[in-house]
Amino acid sequence: MAENTGKKVSKKALSKSFHNWYYGNLTCFSQEHMQTFGYLVSMLPVVEDLYESKGEQTKALKTYSAFFNTEPQIGSMIVGVSVGLEEARANGEAIDDETINGIRAGLMGPLAGIGDSLIVGTLIPILLGIAMGLSQGGSPLGAIFYIIVWNLLAYFGMRFAYYRGYDLGGAAVEALVGPNATALRESIVMVGTMVIGAVAATWVNITTALTLPGGGTLQSTLDGIFPKLLPLGFTLLCWWLMAKKKVSPIVTMLILLVVAFIGAAVGFFGAATIAAPTA
C-alpha cells in the first residue's frame, strides 16, 4: 500500500460538491449523456481541492466523463462514494479509473431501482395525496405543504446519502487495495456488466415480422433458438460502432433510424411481412 500523504477533502469542497449535485444533477441532460455532466460538475470541487496542478485535475476529471444515470436522491450516495475513493487515490492508494467506474456502474442501476420505488413510487404520491387533500376548496395550503416538505426531505435526505457514501468510500479502500482487491474489482465490473445486460434485454425491444417459406415466422424460430437475439445483436452493433469505430452516439442513433426505416419498408420490422416466393 502506498504511503498516505495526508490529503483530505475540505468541508468547503464537500459542501460545494454536494450542492452542485443537489442543484445540478440534471445539468445539460440529454439522451446521450443523461446525468454525466451533473456527476462531473459535482466532482469538480473535490478534484480541485485534492490536486494542485491542472494536469492532475484534468486526468482525474476524465474518470467522471463516462455515462452516468441514476435516481438523483438515493443516487447521491454514489457521488459520495466517488469522493471517498478519489480522496484515497490522491493519497496514493491503488485506486484506478476502472475501480471507480466499476463501482459507479454497478451501483447506479440498483440504487435507481430503489430510489424510483421509494421516492417516485411511494414518497411523492403520498405527499401529493396529502397536498391535494389540503387544497380542497381552493386552499393554497396544499401547494405550500408540498413545496416545503418535499424540498426539506429531498435536501436533507440527499445530504445524508451523500455523506454516508463518502464515509463508505473511505472505508472501502482497505478492501479495494488488499489481498482480494483484484477479485473484488473483477466482481464489481462483472456486476456492472450484468446490470447493463439486463437493461438491454429488458428495454431494447426488437422483433421481426418476416415469414419463412415453410410457414411460421422468423421471430418464433429465433425465440426457440436464442430469445432476445435481435436486441442482443443491435446492442452489440451499437457497442461496436461507439467503442471500436469511435462513432458518436448521435450518428449511431441516426444509423439505427435508417436501419429501422429500411427494415420497416421491406417488411422485416412492423406489421408487414415478406411473402414467400411462388414458383
pLDDT, position 148: 94
pLDDT, position 151: 92
Distance, CA of 11 to chain centre: 27
Distance, CA of 174 to chain centre: 26
For the chain, the domains span 11-190, 207-266
Phi, psi of 234 (to 5 degrees): -70, -35
pLDDT, position 246: 85
pLDDT, position 113: 78
Q: Provide the 3-class DSSP secondary structure of residue 184.
A: helix
Q: Provide the 3-class DSSP secondary structure of residue 31.
A: coil
CA–CA separation, 130 vs 124, rounded Å?
10
Q: pLDDT tens-digit profile of 116-135? A: 777 877 788 888 888 888 88
Length of the chain in terms of residues written:
279
C-alpha grid cell, residue 241:
460502432
Mean per-residue pLDDT pooled into runs of 10, the chain (279 residues): 63 92 86 86 90 85 85 88 86 78 79 79 82 85 92 92 81 52 62 68 82 82 87 88 86 90 84 39
In this structure, the number of other CB atoms found within 10 A of the CB of residue 120 comes to 13
- Residue in 200, 210, 209 with CA at minimum distance from that of residue 234: 200
Rounded alpha-carbon distances, angstroms, from residue 38 to 46, 210, 266: 14, 43, 42
